[in-house]
Amino acid sequence: MIKMIANMESFYRRIHDKLREIDKKRSWLLKKTGIKPSTWSSWEKFGRYPPADRALAIADALEVPVEFLVTGKETHLDARRSHPLVATILRQLEDLNEPQLQRVLIAVNTIAIEQPES
């Protein structure tokens, strides 16, 4: 039970840390996710995780995986996404259609071929 409470506190601490990192307030997060302030306060006060759909909305708004919020662990891919340039490229890729993505893939493969092996 004590470990669960500690994990819960870490969950909310990671959210607050991420908000600080991206220079946003909790009110921004609540508005973006549609969570009522009283609901959020209740979750924190009584040491509860939000329902899965709300946890996913929070993670999406913060651009982190839910697993990171719950455990604090990042996968290798998640760690790469935390690099500002990679995150910018990923956001831009999301807006491309299939033919555009195919052209990007060809360009990336061309660059990879041109680079000498170390």
Question: Which amino acid does the sequence have at 106?
Answer: I
What is the tens place of the pLDDT at every residue in 62-102? 988 888 898 888 765 555 556 677 778 888 888 889 999 89
| 25 and 56 co-located in one domain | yes
- CATH classification of the domain holding 29: 1.10.260.40
| 99 and 63 co-located in one domain | no
Half-sphere exposure of 17 (CA within 13 A, CB side): 10
What is the tens place of the pLDDT at every residue in 24-44? 999 999 999 999 999 999 998
| 62 and 114 co-located in one domain | no
Please state the domain count of the chain.
Answer: 2
Range of the domain at 11: 2-74
For the chain, the average pLDDT equals 83
